[in-house]
Structure 1
Amino acid sequence: MKDFGKKLGVIIGVDGDMSQVGMYSMSNDSQFLWKGEILNGPKVGAFMTIHQNSIKIIATVISEKIIDQQNTIKSSEFDNRYKKNSINRVIFLKAKGVIEENKFKITSQHVPMIGNEITLTTKEELNLIFGFGFLEDSILIGNSLLENNEINLPINKFFASHIGIFGNTGSGKSNTLHKLYLELFNSKHHTNIFEKSQFFVIDFNGEYVGKNIFGIDDAYKQIYNIDTRNFNYGEKLPIEKKYLFNPDILAILFDARAATQVPFLRNALRVFNNKISTAVDFAKMEVGLLKAILIGVKSVSSDALNNWIVAAQNMGINDGLLSGLTGNLHQYNYGSYISKNINNIEIIKDGQITSAGEAILKLQKLESEMKEKYEKSNELQKLSYFLEFQKVYVSAWKSTNIEFINPLFHRIKSAFESMDKVIEIKENVTNEFKSLNIVSLVNANPEVTRLLPMLLSKMIYDNQKSVVSNMKVFQTKHLIIDEAHNILNSEYRNNGDGWQDYRLSIFEEIIKEGRKFGFYLTLSSQRPADISPTIMSQLHNYFIHRLVNEKDLKMLENTMPTLDKYSYQNIPNLGKGEAIITGTAINVPVLVKINKEEVIHPNSDDINLIELWESKKQLDFFDLI
């Protein structure tokens, strides 16, 4: 007769997927030594094997109790209830799946029956349950808490998916994120990984900028320390021109008002993108605007010329050229320029500026200097100059009230000053990035912090989508966002905040459609309740560290179909570095102690105040600032 293992009891009751087991003895050891293996005893959370002919039904212990042998003696002298020889132990199991033909699968085809015996679950069976086949490439992430089994994650199933890592501050989620990708980059596939895939890490707290982070050589890694405080300190992130010079993005950057300022931006960007290709185009257009102001005397506003001159001064045009405009023209009371200058030379005749007038006003020199200034400017300055003249254009004929858009230009100046420190505008960024790219935003202001991740994400997603569209995926991109609640919060959606709506629509498209284009998202957050439910529900695999906030726990319960009741109840009790791994890549949720890297790890360790205070090093005040 075949030896099924250490027999512990027999099924004495079945109710759906719940089974009641009468134990042969108390069998309350937490571990058993069986044929050279240390196996888990029948404690809550442990796996047990139910034998039904050649089928092994795998179940977990969800509760236990004892039953007295119905001793009815009431005398305290002879009362033997709840004594060693008076009680039997009963455990309750919940079926998880079956092992059939040396494979674990989740099915309702086989259910426990009264009389089926249960045994300890062996190491071999645990490997099948956790889905870690010997032929499948995997990475070691830690050990299971109850069984102390090595937990190896299947590379393909895990990394070809959207991943969520959640946990309170200090629970170990940063170590988990780092460990996950450190093991991937150190796997036997590392050379091909760096040839076929790119990884982008958005790091809000500067935790992943240390030396040797992720175990990657500098030849394959680029760290962008985004710094809006010091112009010459941080690295600039390359961004394609078409992404920044987008009306939706600029409306967000400038905090433009929907009713008055957004239409102005949309019209201005349409003209700029379609008609201004060179410095010559710009100079001709703006000098043409000047001419239109001069000859449109009957309808133009009285301050139009002065506004044009101010725009030119902001561009740095020589005051000597600009003074010629006012020095050779004088006005009647109604703002109409007379057609002759003070020397009685005709400047305007038959609705046109005369040749003599062009010479007197130095229009050719003005156009030449504008062209030169524009050519020497960077892309942000070019757009800024153009917007200044567009303001003159829309207000000159009173199509727009200048008072409505003047406040916008204060914000434009501030925003462009910030962006000029942190981005480098390119026509194409295909060859700009390395295999691993880390964008640290710890020294960025809020304006840049909320915009840059959205710009980068949209740009690299569109690039991946266009490259692999209508063909088999031959390369992948992986976007990793630490502290993702900073940009994926849905609380303010649909309340008129354009940034909230636009950035959520971008990330929701990425998480819904990205997988089929080879674009994968990894999110790490201490506040899953703050992340859009649409995004949360589209994640495939999860690492759940300790969470205690009721809203966070409710979000997990509502968005994770693979999270069972026992695992869910354990979340608030997890220790540091302990996590529940669940999702489509593994068969059943598993409680794991994540291995911690002692040498290479993110800058997220808790501060030891006693060690700090007792340190012998004396810091000078100026060392601290």
Structure 2
Amino acid sequence: MEKLGIVVGSTKPNRVNFLSNKPLRLGQFVILKYFDGDEEIRLLGMINKVERENKYIPEDIPNYERIDRLIKESSSETKVKGEIQILGKIAERDNGITLEFQRTPPLPASEVLKPPKEILERLFGSKGKNYIKIGKLLSEAEDVNVYIDINQIVLRHLAILAITGAGKSNTVSVLLDNIVNLKGTVVVFDFHGEYTRAEFRRDGKNVVNVIKPLVDPTTLDRKDFAKLIGIRENATIQYRYFKYAVDKVEKDLKDEKGDDWKRFVETESFFGRLIGELESWKDEEKSSPFKGKIREESLYEVINKIEDTMVDLRHIIKIGAKDLIENIRPGMVNVFDFSEVDEEVADALASNILKHSLIERKKAVRGSDSKIPNPILIVVEEAHILAGVKSDTDSKYWMTRIAREGRKFGLGLCVVTQRPKGLDKEILSQMNNMIILKLVEPEDQKHVQSASESLSSELMEYLPSLNPGEAIILGNMTKIPLLIKIDKAKGKIQGNDIPVVDKWLGSEEKVSKLEDLKDF
């Protein structure tokens, strides 16, 4: 192994200082070697601080003109010094190479060596069918592939965090590429239509299942049904009127047509009867279902919201539509397209999917018939919308439940956001795995660090300077926190910025052609 330097000064079990005459890099892996009696000890470390120093060129040099001469005379006196974080003791075991906790400080004057590529590949490479390739080590001159444990992603959840343009879409795409090749099932909540034209291929076939949400509102919880038509939770009187009317109309239809009444009732007819029931309460000769006088203002609000829903949401509401989770196809990337609905409607739909996914996975694990027989991963794009710090959405409740309980039932959660500080801290803290790309805002960084025990202050310092596609990965999916370059995805997600200038120039060309046609 090539010698890079030597350990100097006092040492600690988790960090040492070093001195070198070689241009070492921040984040570079090294091996510390020394003997404890007859035993050769090898420790894996990472350089987390590095600087160059020349004692002949101090900061307070009085004469700027002398620098050129001093550089020529003292170039050989430049030294590299810094700090190495000790990651663990390298140990050979029956199941391969591993890192063990180091309890004693290494000896001063220990050698600092360049680790062979083979050792790094054995530490961070594939360990079998559970592992997928995510990228390469960022700090090494030689390409060293990095693999992560997909079992741990599903069982311990994952957060993908970055500013806009840092590579979130590509990172998600790499993850989904690998999962579909394992015949895994993924559900994606897509707020911007980025996935509707996505391509993820297995055996030459595109395995993306785009789902335009079509929901039977009577299968939703009454609260979600109310939210769907725009009745807010604090509008208690409107909710009471609405809930009573829905219950009454459903009961009447069952009495008239039997339990399978949905086969015979059109969506417009159902909502028409709902409006008719509410309007009948305005008739003073008919007794009100509630004690006291009906508040006409609240009543009209409910009627207006139902009428608006019949127009605005006619493309997603259908009496008798199958349950949303019945659209999920195993072994595919199932994309629920929320791009044509507002956030409140998206919350009602997403919470229904989250809730019933958990219910069905519990059934599967307990040996009952289930609509979701195999483990799944739910990817929540724009997670701060559904589970914001200050929001109290139903989706947030079910995401919290899944984050706590999903491990036992093979239900994984992956939250993706460019606004980490806006994401609920409890949910973020339950994401035991993280892929963190570039983060610039100190508040974002602090919010993430407070939710993760593995994100050290030294690693935090990398975040603002990462290039697109570069990331810190940490958690159960990898042995130790790593700086990596994410692979370029084979699959395709429409997450790129709009080419503004190309659009402008293209528009000008179209106008020019139209003018030519007019002249002709």
Q: Scaled by the length of structure 1, what TM-score is found?
A: 0.68
Are 1:596 and 2:488 counterparts? yes
Which residue does 2:380 correspond to in 1? 481
Q: 1:562 aligns with which of 429, 448, 454?
A: 454
Which residue does 1:582 correspond to in 2? 474
Are 1:83 and 2:74 counterparts? yes
* Cα RMSD, aligned residues only: 3.8
Q: 1:95 aligns with which of 86, 110, 113?
A: 86
Are 1:138 and 2:119 counterparts? no
Equivalent-residue separation in structure 2 for 1:267 and 1:616 (angstroms):
54
Deviation at 1:470, TM superposition (A): 6.8
Deviation at 1:553, TM superposition (A): 1.4
Which residue does 1:167 correspond to in 2? 162
Aligned length, in residue pairs: 485
Equivalent-residue separation in structure 1 for 2:55 and 2:263 (angstroms):
96
Q: Scaled by the length of structure 2, what TM-score is found?
A: 0.81
Structure 1 pair 167–214 and aligned structure 2 pair: CA distance change class (3 A): farther
Q: 2:226 aligns with which of 240, 243, 251?
A: 251
Deviation at 1:240, TM superposition (A): 7.9
SS state of the match for residue 160, structure 1? helix
Deviations 1:537-593 (A, max 9, x none): 111211111121222112111112112223211111111122221111112222222
Q: 1:507 aligns with which of 375, 396, 399?
A: 399
Which residue does 2:25 correspond to in 1? 43
Equivalent-residue separation in structure 2 for 1:151 and 1:407 (angstroms):
57
Is the Cα–Cα contact under 8 Å of residues 153 and 412 in structure 2 kept in the other structure?
no
Which has more radius of gyration? 1
Is the Cα–Cα contact under 8 Å of residues 57 and 110 in structure 1 kept in the other structure?
no
Structure 1 pair 390–85 and aligned structure 2 pair: CA distance change class (3 A): closer
Equivalent-residue separation in structure 1 for 2:110 and 2:506 (angstroms):
64
Is the Cα–Cα contact under 8 Å of residues 48 and 121 in structure 1 kept in the other structure?
yes
Is the Cα–Cα contact under 8 Å of residues 13 and 21 in structure 1 kept in the other structure?
no
Are 1:608 and 2:503 counterparts? no
Which residue does 2:175 correspond to in 1? 180
Equivalent-residue separation in structure 2 for 1:508 and 1:450 (angstroms):
14
Q: Structure 1 stretch 520-529 or stretch 447-456: which is displaced more?
A: 447-456
Which residue does 1:414 correspond to in 2? 308
Are 1:118 and 2:100 counterparts? no
Structure 1 pair 247–607 and aligned structure 2 pair: CA distance change class (3 A): closer
Equivalent-residue separation in structure 1 for 2:287 and 2:506 (angstroms):
70
Which residue does 2:517 correspond to in 1? none
User: In structure 1, what residue type is equivalent to 2:280?
Assistant: V
Q: 1:207 aligns with which of 194, 198, 207?
A: 194
Q: 1:454 aligns with which of 351, 360, 385?
A: 351
Equivalent-residue separation in structure 1 for 2:123 and 2:462 (angstroms):
20
Tell me the percent identity: 19
Equivalent-residue separation in structure 2 for 1:239 and 1:216 (angstroms):
35
Are 1:154 and 2:149 counterparts? yes
5 Å matches for 1:183-582?
A: 183-186=178-181, 189-190=182-183, 193=184, 198-210=185-197, 212-213=199-200, 220-224=207-211, 226=212, 236-238=213-215, 241-243=218-220, 246-253=221-228, 254-256=230-232, 257-271=234-248, 276-280=253-257, 376-378=264-266, 381-382=269-270, 385-386=273-274, 388-389=276-277, 392=280, 396-398=286-288, 399=291, 400-403=293-296, 404-424=298-318, 425-426=320-321, 431-435=326-330, 436=332, 437-469=334-366, 475-491=374-390, 493=391, 500-582=392-474
Is the Cα–Cα contact under 8 Å of residues 231 and 239 in structure 2 kept in the other structure?
no
Equivalent-residue separation in structure 1 for 2:206 and 2:7 (angstroms):
61
Which residue does 1:20 correspond to in 2? 17
Equivalent-residue separation in structure 2 for 1:88 and 1:266 (angstroms):
76
Structure 1 pair 462–217 and aligned structure 2 pair: CA distance change class (3 A): farther
Equivalent-residue separation in structure 2 for 1:271 and 1:416 (angstroms):
19
User: In structure 2, what residue type is equivalent to 1:164?
Assistant: A
Deviations 1:489-523 (A, max 9, x none): 132x3xxxxxx343321221122112211111112
Equivalent-residue separation in structure 1 for 2:129 and 2:172 (angstroms):
22
Structure 1 pair 241–135 and aligned structure 2 pair: CA distance change class (3 A): same
Deviations 1:166-224 (A, max 9, x none): 111111101110111112223xx33xx3xxxx321111111112263456876854212
Equivalent-residue separation in structure 2 for 1:140 and 1:466 (angstroms):
32
